[in-house]
Chain A
């Protein structure tokens, strides 16, 4: 019984990469998502990465680690990262960690990029 209930959907436009995440983010799935996202980031080297969280059904603190890690990688390659459309549940945990201080969440850019 190995869960594979997560999936990425990718949209690319010039320097912009939008990735919609599907499924549940916990420590189990974060390990795989991290690998896939990093491969993608290093291949595309976008200037701006937007993670669309609208289809995430569950996220615990492993998700915070996943998001911070990708933010760090984006900074390393000279880019920026934003989050878009987190639901209320996800916003609750993002706020608890003060994530809005580190990345744009559903800001102007993220909205226009949809």
Chain B
């Protein structure tokens, strides 16, 4: 990720790291843990629900796409910053995404048999302020979600 983007959130005030096996029961576990940690920044209920949904999407993708239900771990790092920004990085060491731009398009899915909607990245993009996806075929994928909390209250 570019340095400029990282610099904006100068003061990191807390960080949590999670390593979980890529099994579907951990979808609920991961979003609940991230939400509990983010509660320190006193998000409103909408912000918290947005974060939970975005995390659920990224984690599900690790399980169904990256590892295709085979063994593997996914890694979550949640960083909280003094300007009430939340940064959530979700990393897998799975199959990678050959064409990220295409994958991010609404309704695009490589798994229509599994009743996927192809809306995961669209949800992440719409429910968070920023989404970056970095991937290498055969190596894995890094999804970074950021959201600045409390903006409606302070800026309006």
Interface: A107 (CB within 8 A):
no
Query: How would you classify the secondary structure of chain B's contact residues: helix, strand, loop or mixed?
Result: helix
Interface: B116 (CB within 8 A):
yes
CB within 8 Å for A61 and B24 given contacts A34-B115, A69-B115:
no
Tell me, in angstroms, the Cα distance from A83 to B10 when the chains sit together: 45
- Report how many residues on chain B are interfacial, defined by Cβ distance under 8 Å: 25
Query: At the interface with chain B, which of A12-20, A24-32, A42-50?
Result: A24-32
Instruction: Report the minimum CB–CB distance from A23 to chain B (whole Å).
Output: 10
Contacts of B115 in A (CB 8 A): 30, 34, 65-66, 68-69
Query: At the interface with chain A, which of B1-9, B48-56, B74-82, B93-101?
Result: B48-56
Contacts of A24 in B (CB 8 A): 28
Asked whether B117 lies within 8 Å of A27 as measured between CB atoms, the reply is no
Query: At the interface with chain A, which of B57-65, B128-136, B144-152?
Result: B57-65
Query: How would you classify the secondary structure of chain A's contact residues: helix, strand, loop or mixed?
Result: helix
Asked whether A89 lies within 8 Å of B49 as measured between CB atoms, the reply is yes
Interface: A97 (CB within 8 A):
yes
Name the residue of chain A whose CB is nearest to the CB of B23: A28
Name the residue of chain B whose CB is nearest to the CB of A97: B119
Q: List 15 A-B contacts (CB under 8 A).
A: A1-B29, A3-B25, A24-B28, A28-B27, A58-B49, A58-B56, A60-B60, A61-B116, A61-B122, A62-B117, A64-B119, A65-B115, A65-B117, A66-B115, A96-B119
Binding site for A on B (CB under 8 A): 24-25, 27-29, 31, 46, 49, 52-53, 56-57, 60, 63-64, 106, 114-117, 119-120, 122-123, 126
In order of increasing CB-CB distance, the 9 nearest A-B pairs are A28-B24, A64-B117, A65-B115, A61-B119, A65-B117, A60-B56, A27-B60, A69-B115, A61-B117
